[in-house]
Structure 1
Amino acid sequence: MKTLLKIIGIIILLVVVYAIIAMLAFSKDYHYEKSVVINAPKEKVWQHTGSLKAYNTWDPFSKEIKNFSVTYSGDGEKMGDSYHWKGDDSEGEQTITEIVPNEKLGTQLHFIKPFDGNAKSNIILTPDGNGTKVTWTIDNELNTMMKIMKPMMDHNMDKMFGQGLGDLKKLAEK
């Protein structure tokens, strides 16, 4: 029994030490990006990335939200156009902040539920041989608790961005 209590005590101590190190050492600035090369010209890929409505056909995050609904403001393809999403335990808004046709769609995300926060996201298209390299980025500021969860965030972002870019690739290569 004493051995079990020692092991539990060591595990608790390691968790506390990790939390303290994460809060002090990890930067508050968070950046994640992932890329894929799509065997299609930029103009064809842009049809699936150049508007909020097109983005929502392959967005993996909306597929994860139960009872997902979206309300658009504008056509979803001009500066200032936005959409508001709501679902079980999730709510937020995404607004277009930058458009360079066939090259870049920049957006501002405002998360309302489950946590209030803001992030910037970009979808960037660049020529790559006979295809198009699509780079999807997200940048935000981590609060103290989010710093502790950074390794889990990286793992989740890798999974979700990979799924979304894979779905985009399938759509654009049809």
Structure 2
Amino acid sequence: MLVLKIVLGVIAIAVIALLGLAATRPDRFMVKRAATIKARPEALSALVEDFHQWRLWSPWEKIDPDMTRAYGGPDKGVGATYAWVGSAKVGTGDMEITQVTPGREVAFDLHFVKPFKADNVGRFTFEPAGDSTLVTWSMEGASPFMAKVMGLVFDMDKVVGKDFEAGLANMKAEAEKPA
């Protein structure tokens, strides 16, 4: 009986320590990746501000090419929307473009429904670099307490960052294709 009490006490202390550690994590997260692409900023911005073009480079489009898609609002730019329902690997959600500075920046609200609910902001920036463009893709949002706890074992930056890297590589391949 004493051994059981000791084991339960150790488990309780470990759980309290993990919850305490989670509480010290930041209230917001950001995932950011960048790549240099040999293309004009305007050409790259056009691949982002038109959700129909995402099929050419988005990593999630390649993971689940059979997902259901719905487009709304204008064809491109502010107010354009894109909703998807896909496999467990891509989930369910929607996006709406909220800001476009031609050839410089595209920002969008990103809402996940599955596999978890989250409201984030995505952003692409395009900085001229000689005959190339530095493209930066970022996503930021709130980290509620349960996300902080999950973050102790699930590193969002590494997991989502890999997808961003794949998407930027796909964008590079698409933009640098011979005409």
TM-score bracket for the superposition, by shorter chain length: 0.7 to 0.9
* Matching residue of 1:163: 166
Aligned to 2:116: 115
CA–CA separation in structure 2 for the residues paired with 1:104 and 1:47: 11
Which residue is equivalent to 2:3?
A: none
Alpha-carbon distance between aligned partners in 1 of 2:18 and 2:63, rounded to the nearest angstrom = 28
1:137: which partner in 2? 138
Q: What is the aligned partner in structure 2 of residue 73 from structure 1?
A: 72
2:174 and 2:12 map into 1 onto residues whose CA distance is 48
Confirm or deny: 8 A CA contact 2:50 2:80 kept in the other structure.
no
- After TM superposition, the score normalised by the length of structure 1 is 0.83
What TM-score results when the alignment is normalised by the length of structure 2? 0.81
Identity %: 26
Structure 1 unaligned spans of 5+: 1-7
SS of residue paired to 2:78: coil
Deviation at 1:78, TM superposition (A): 2.6
**8 Å contact from structure 1 (residues 50, 101) kept in 2:** no
Give 1:83 deviation, angstroms.
1.2
Q: State the distance in 1 between where 2:127 and 2:56 align.
A: 21
SS at match of 1:56: helix
Q: Can you list the C-alpha shifts for 1:16-39, whole angstroms capped at 9, x where unaligned?
A: 366324421111201111100001
* 36-45 or 13-22, which deviates more: 13-22
**Which structure 1 residue ranges, 4+ long, deviate > 4 Å from structure 2?**
11-15
**Does the C-alpha gap of structure 1 residues 101 and 152 become closer, same or farther in structure 2, counting only changes over 3 Å?**
same
Q: Distance in 2 between matches of 1:42 and 1:132?
A: 6
The alpha-carbon distance between structure 1 residues 131 and 15, as it changes in their structure 2 partners (threshold 3 A), is farther
Name stretches of at least 5 consecutive residues in structure 2 with no aligned partner. Answer: 1-6
Structure 1 distance, partners of 2:60, 2:149, is 22
Is the CA contact (8 Å cut-off) linking 2:57 and 2:167 kept in structure 1? yes
